[in-house]
Structure 1
Amino acid sequence: MPKSIQERLIKWAVDMEWHNFHGHFQRNQYYIPYPHMLRKCYGLSMNERSVLLDIISHLGENDEAFPSQETIACNLGLSESTVKSAINALVKKRFIKTVRRRGHVNRYRIDALEDNPYVGMSETIHYFLRLYQPKYIKRSAIQSVISAVVNSDSYAKYANKLYEVYRSPYTDQSYPDLVLDTQLELMMEIRNKLRDEKGLLVSVPIFADFQKHFNLYLERIGFDDGDECDWDNYLASEEEQNDGTDEDELIQQQ
């Protein structure tokens, strides 16, 4: 976003003297940063994204927010039942934790954002779309397949397994290896559904290209160099890369 637009948006939010069209009764001042990774997160419905943003906007210095469901509903123009359903989904997907206190409004704490598996898998899908979606395929076709995958039981199982291994100190499974396997399996699931249900062929992810983005992800979540994958176990040798196998043969083998 151009700097001039950013400055105008911030000024619009915080300048107490700037009335103009909005009049003297402007109440919704200030702003919060909101990453595109959350705004565009596959696996979160529009209502869930909106409720999460509203809860984040209420966070205090102790990293707790305690708006009532009625307040959230009024802020977003939603029903209280819709807000309740969205909160339950956000808890299940581990974006927030709810602290229930008798006689008091529920308190909310952020559970996982930077290391939430739903965000990681969403970014994998965006990566797939950006690099491997043929230009001739209509977006509506591929989005319907992605929606089916995201709303499937397997997608939730991917997320739960990633979360459990990441959080558990007692596991023999390498988390970086599990992330790589899960992301590649997710992209292949989308590719195969496009082929089987839509008759559309999409390129297989290129490991050498994917390695760069995967290592950047590992660095972001705090893994040391020694914890990263041994890519020699994954990358094809020069002989394998030049064996002449083409896309049609790969599809027939599957």
Structure 2
Amino acid sequence: MKFTVLGASGLIGSQSVERLKAAGHDVVPATRSTGVDVVSGKGLREAFSGSDVVINLTNSPAFDASSIDFFETSTETVGAAAAEAGVRHLVILSIVGVDRVPQLDYYRAKTAQENVLARGSTPYSIVRATQFFEFVEAIMSWTTDGGVVRLPPTPLQPIAASDVSAAVAGAASGTPLQGIRNVGGPEVFPLDELGRITLAARPDGRSVVTDDQAGPFALVAGDVLVAPDDSDLGPTYYGDWLGRR
């Protein structure tokens, strides 16, 4: 099969490209540096030529309300170009629970992307993943003040980026879902505990204080960001991943 991967230089994009190539597929990595722009449509016709599947892993340059326009416009543009090129399957990566957190602009934007994709004429698959292991330190940085990291006890079920790329490549290689596949890690942690585990493995002088009001994840109620019962679970445990790094 021939695949075009949009956003091929990103964390999940680069790993998805390598997985698909290792499986013997023909893969076209498409990025702005290769002359492809998903908003204007520049380069999409050439990038999609002969492709059976397009995996759209591009991301908004901002995480505020402007991300809504980015995802709606780019998904419409990619969908139109895919239909014109005769692409048989469109795949995007989204977030577990994304449609249940309307108070976060970025989550509303990703929900809008899902809706645009589902309205299109090309068969599609949506892979929703929980938060990545690789983003935990960034999440902690948002609420760091000196030597203190304030984190809410919001439950998360983090997953390794390598396991996400495996899920994306697997979905893209199969029959279009015409719906959603949820993927998560094998363990659930309160976010404040996850911060403590991270700092225990990589001490840097900071400590974690539980704060129900700290950061954007304080706005998330209950277990919204935990993978649903019918989800596929990645095999990588957070402690093992920390140890290897």
Does the TM-score normalized on the shorter chain lie above 0.5? no
Using structure 1 for the length normalisation, give the TM-score: 0.27
The structure that is strand-richer by fraction is 2
Asked which structure has the greater RCO (Cα within 8 Å, sep 6+), the reply is: 2
Larger of the two Rg values belongs to structure: 1
Q: Which has the higher helix share?
A: 1
